[in-house]
Amino acid sequence: MLGEKIRVENGKLVVPDTPVIPFIEGDGTGPEIMASVRKVVDAAVEKAYGGKRKIVWKELLAGEKAIREVGEPLPKDTVEAIREHYVAIKGPLTTPVGGGYRSLNVALRQMLDLYANIRPAKYYPGVPSPLRYPERVNMVVFRENTEDVYAGIEWKMGTPECEKVRRFLNEEMGTDIPEDAGIGVKPISKFRSQRLVRKAIEYAIAHGYPTLTLMHKGNIMKYTEGAFRDWGYELIREKYADYVVFEGEGERTEGKVFVNDRIADNMFQQILLRPDEYGVIATTNLNGDYISDALAALVGGLGMAPGANVGDYHALFEPVHGSAPKYAGKNVINPTAGILAAKLMLEHIGWKEAAERIDRAVAKTISERKVTYDLARHIGVEPLSTTEYTDALIENL
């Protein structure tokens, strides 16, 4: 089948019945995971639409496979194809430690300006969790993907560049930075904060989440973290006032998003003690990194954690975990994080019925205690292989 490209018209994604969706297999366990993902998605789409809709997969090269086949880890054609098709999904890619090429994941996010990292954490009954009432966890983190300390503006202690910055700050700006300090800069801008918060509030409204929380460390870092909070409130007040109630100004109201903010350290205890009071969390890069991993741990760990990197129109879906190379080729890895990433992708293109089937099938399969090794060792059951688990899921679609 040839398929048609997804396009953007009047600021909206237009999805044909046979969209071409590029995928990157990924390294290590990536090929096993992506094989499972495509099988489950194809079956869910077939069940939901009875042949009227079908994804036409298009493989793109990246990582070790790209090096083997075309001699470079991230061919230009791959980036261009994602740009042209708007929506894509990828397996994990290995980043060589201490040399080699830089992170392909980071490169893809930057080249396509995928500024929102979206990480849902939802509990599926039967998954081992350290919480007493894990069923109360249903949150989605929107993490700013392009600035904050991750922007990589840093100088190494003792270098001439570091010394120059240190002198400037000490002599011109009245600071007192010692000679043996490395220096990092944390830019947080209004435009980038607001476009992230816009994605988060629109998601909360569209998916009926009761709460949006701006998470920040603004009590200490007033002009970066504090500004993130202020710019977030400003945008919501100006553009979304009809859809929200602000904490301190009214009660929670059915059909409206309750908007509040929390200081980052407090937020960590909130997700443990009162998870049911939170829904969508919008936050800066470093906070988002920490809180989304903490949330993943509450709902089954890395094997269960999906993610998406989204820009104005482009979106790249992926499991949060890495390539887990020690399990490569062993047919044991848990493909659920990849499958839930595909579920997010189906929601993103508006194929809700197929997404819901996947959601229900994951819930049912796990509640039947049919799980891969990572969950089996905590539940105390015999593990299924990746392919057995995939087949069990498909049976439950």
Chain positions contacting ligand NAP, by CB under 6 A: 92-95, 105, 302-303, 318, 321-324, 326, 333-334, 337, 374
Cα 247 from chain centroid (whole Å): 27
- Give the shortest CB-303-to-ligand NAP separation in angstroms: 3
- Give the shortest CB-26-to-ligand NAP separation in angstroms: 7
- Give the shortest CB-370-to-ligand NAP separation in angstroms: 15
> Which residue is nearest to ligand NAP, using beta carbons?
322
Distance between CA 187 and CA 93 in Å, rounded? 28
Is there a contact between 21 and 58 (Cβ–Cβ < 8 Å)? Answer: yes
The dihedral sign for the CA sequence 206, 208, 211, 216: negative
- Give the shortest CB-23-to-ligand NAP separation in angstroms: 13
Instruction: For residue 337, give the nearest of 368, 375, 310, 364 by alpha carbon.
Output: 375
Distance between CA 348 and CA 265 in Å, rounded? 31
- Give the shortest CB-5-to-ligand NAP separation in angstroms: 25
- Give the shortest CB-269-to-ligand NAP separation in angstroms: 25
- Give the shortest CB-385-to-ligand NAP separation in angstroms: 12
Name the residue nearer to ligand NAP (CB basis): 324 or 397.
Answer: 324
Name the residue nearer to ligand NAP (CB basis): 50 or 130.
Answer: 130
364 has catalytic annotation:
no
Name the residue nearer to ligand NAP (CB basis): 108 or 204.
Answer: 108
Name the residue nearer to ligand NAP (CB basis): 4 or 72.
Answer: 72
Name the residue nearer to ligand NAP (CB basis): 200 or 308.
Answer: 308
Residues recorded for the chain? 397
Please identify which of the residues 223, 265, 330, 352 carries the catalytic annotation: 265
123 has catalytic annotation:
no
Please identify which of the residues 65, 90, 217, 370 carries the catalytic annotation: 217
- Give the shortest CB-24-to-ligand NAP separation in angstroms: 9
Is there a contact between 362 and 338 (Cβ–Cβ < 8 Å)? Answer: no
Is there a contact between 339 and 40 (Cβ–Cβ < 8 Å)? Answer: yes
Name the residue nearer to ligand NAP (CB basis): 226 or 325.
Answer: 325
| All residues at 6 or more sequence positions from 246 whose CB lies less than 8 Å from its CB, including other chains | 233, 237, 259, 260
Name the residue nearer to ligand NAP (CB basis): 8 or 381.
Answer: 381
Name the residue nearer to ligand NAP (CB basis): 94 or 390.
Answer: 94
Residue 369 has a CB neighbour count (10 Å cut-off) of 14
Please identify which of the residues 27, 148, 289, 391 carries the catalytic annotation: 289
Please identify which of the residues 39, 54, 150, 230 carries the catalytic annotation: 150
- Residues with a catalytic annotation lie at 150, 217, 265, 289
